[in-house]
Structure 1
Amino acid sequence: MVGSDHRERTAWVALLGHAPSRSSQRLLTRRAVGSGSSLAVLRTQLGQPTLLDDPVENALRAAQEHITAWERTGITVLTFDDADFPARLRTTHDMPGVLFGRGTMAPQEESVSVVGSRAASPFGLRTAGLLAHGLARDGITVVSGLASGIDASAHRGALAANGRTVGIIGTGIRHAHPEENRRLHSEVAAAGAVLSQFWPDTPPDRTTFPARNATMVGYAAATVVVEAGEHSGARIQAREAVEHGRPVLLMRPVLDRVSWAQQFLRCSDVHVAQDVDDALRTLREIIDRPKDPRRPYDSLADAR
């Protein structure tokens, strides 16, 4: 059984490593989850063995070499079948099949994603820090994207409360973007974890950050948008949260300053908070809701 589990884990890396695009990675992830075997899907993709060669065994050997090399440099490799894979992320239809991390994994933790503009105002930065501090004080993990502005302030607010914080980044785990936040990456990993769905050396591009936003939505119980512009990445995350059926909390200045916020108010489970205390009350109510009794596979089957 151990050998079989190990092969399935390695097959996840081999399967997604052979995918030509991120859209094909998503499709293959859904197939592997639906069939219950990444190895079976890998065999379908690569073909049957011949007398001289077995493409699947070759792919598994190469994948294991990569995993060993990554782990030697302190990178944790998590696949969908691993016990430490984030539990809430399993229930989303757009989840990654493999995650790369640094820090301590806590798959069952309760968390809230706090996001907003990189070019944040002093008021927005203060609000993000106070909100994150309050969440961390209540034992709730603060999730953000380790970007400049609201993200960095949220992580620092949680750290100031000696709380747990998780950074979900839009590059490979070996990169820091922006570079000036590299020390913050280390601080977040020491107090919680830094996670990436991209191969470790992946540089930033215009597609990686929206994909990261969807993963943040899946990881957390709710998303808070502290401050945002008309074309902010926070808008993408709010839209992803609505599409995934996850609660969204808009701080009042967002509603007052951007037109898209009014449109989101028509959606189910979108809330407005007047201030930090109001936001914390609403988020505690969301966290305390009864858990969905369905198994993760049931939710994924509904998504298909």
Structure 2
Amino acid sequence: MMEFTSSHAFLLAASEVLPGDARDLSLLLREYSSLENFSNSSALPSGRMGALAKYIKSSVEHHRVIFWTRRLRELRERLPTVQLFTVLDSGYLSNLKAAYDRPPFMFARGTLIAGDEMAIAVVGSRRTTPDVIDAAASVSAELASAGIAVISGLALGVDSAAHEGALQGGGRTIAVLGHGIDQVQPASNINLANRVLERGALVSQFRPFSPPTSSTFPLRNAVISGSAKASLIMDATERSGTRSEAEASLRQGRPVLLWAPALGNQRWAQEFARQGNVSMVNSGEEVISAMTGGSDGAQLQFT
């Protein structure tokens, strides 16, 4: 069982006073040899990172470290197996660690393994057609059976179908949460979350006990795409959170696959598919071929 330390508490307190994006804290952490060195050392990196380190170390108030020490203790009592990984840790998701917008830390329940590097995000709308739900479950089962982990957001609709399909396919699945690791929302998915824990993990980039907000879900979407080699968009509207996940995937240099049976006739999707690194797919076989390389060797280019 992982023991939370004062350095973990300092990190959470540091995230509260961060003047910019969370990725700035990720970059700063990588200037240090360890989390303990970051929290305890008076040495400062050079340049902008040094200025940021000086600001954080002078801004974190001791009572906030005490606060997070207590809250982490409460989290451990509630969830004895929960873990915290920073960008310095080998347990941090490898695909996400390579993304430019990686969060500085991730809380996790369940298991994360090296094989999760071969993963695809399967995402779509909360409210969609039965055909899309069935397709998301079926494709995810095929992917899982082929040894490809399925990552999604544990929301209703396509996300739930993706997790269910992966479990039915006997493979691994990871749910990325838009709130603290101590919660499962919607509450109706608690049973599904427990089953995900048996064959994968729940992960969260947010401080524990944080509620969902209108801005946490776009941030969550970028972690979904960053944790995967590619994203499969089952359906989406022009101005939807799912499309924002697809755009995040492209910004991270990851391929995007659009499910043609649902999106092939939508103008925005047709225009989106004209971009480099975006393709329409019609079957689970095409998705697997794109991920693993088919007989023609036409594997997607991963970065």
Contact conserved, 1:143 with 1:165, CA < 8 A, in 2? yes
Aligned to 1:27: 24
Match of 1:186 among 187, 194, 202: 194
Aligned to 2:55: 44
Secondary structure of residue in 1 paired with 2:174: strand
- Deviation, structure 1 residue 255: 3.4
- Deviation, structure 1 residue 170: 1.1
Q: Deviations over 1:189-213 (max 9, x none)?
A: 2221011111222222211111100
Q: Gaps (5+ residues) in structure 2?
A: 45-51
- Deviation, structure 1 residue 133: 0.4
Distance 1:253 1:180, change over 3 A: same
Secondary structure of residue in 2 paired with 1:14: helix
Aligned to 1:81: 88
Aligned to 2:12: 13
Code of the residue aligned with 2:75 in structure 1: it is: W
Aligned to 1:118: 126
The normalised TM-score by structure 1 is: 0.82
Code of the residue aligned with 1:246 in structure 2: it is: R
Code of the residue aligned with 2:277 in structure 1: it is: D
Contact conserved, 1:42 with 1:56, CA < 8 A, in 2? no
- Deviation, structure 1 residue 10: 4.8
Question: Percent identity among equivalent residues?
Answer: 30
Aligned to 1:68: 73
Contact conserved, 2:121 with 2:151, CA < 8 A, in 1? yes
- Deviation, structure 1 residue 285: 2.4
Q: How does 1:1-304 map to 2 (within 5 A)?
A: 9-19=8-18, 23-34=20-31, 38-39=38-39, 43-47=54-58, 60-74=65-79, 75-107=82-114, 109=116, 110-285=118-293
Contact conserved, 1:11 with 1:42, CA < 8 A, in 2? no
Code of the residue aligned with 2:73 in structure 1: it is: T
Within 1, Cα distance between the matches of 2:209 and 2:183? 7
Q: Deviations over 1:193-234 (max 9, x none)?
A: 011111222222211111100001110000000122232211
Code of the residue aligned with 1:233 in structure 2: it is: G
Within 2, Cα distance between the matches of 1:12 and 1:254? 43
Aligned residues: 280
Code of the residue aligned with 2:57 in structure 1: it is: L
Q: Deviations over 1:151-173 (max 9, x none)?
A: 10010001112211100011222
- Moved segments of 4+, more than 4 Å: 6-10, 34-37, 40-43, 55-62, 286-292
Within 2, Cα distance between the matches of 1:264 and 1:83? 35
Within 2, Cα distance between the matches of 1:92 and 1:63? 27
Within 2, Cα distance between the matches of 1:217 and 1:211? 10
Secondary structure of residue in 2 paired with 1:47: helix
Deviates more, 1:212-221 or 1:197-206: 197-206
- Deviation, structure 1 residue 58: 5.7
- Deviation, structure 1 residue 276: 2.4
Within 1, Cα distance between the matches of 2:140 and 2:18? 37
Contact conserved, 2:233 with 2:258, CA < 8 A, in 1? yes
Aligned to 1:297: none
Code of the residue aligned with 1:273 in structure 2: it is: V
Q: Deviations over 1:235-292 (max 9, x none)?
A: 0011111111101000113433432212222222111112222222222229966876
Distance 1:248 1:290, change over 3 A: closer
Contact conserved, 2:30 with 2:88, CA < 8 A, in 1? no
CA RMSD, 1 decimal: 2.8
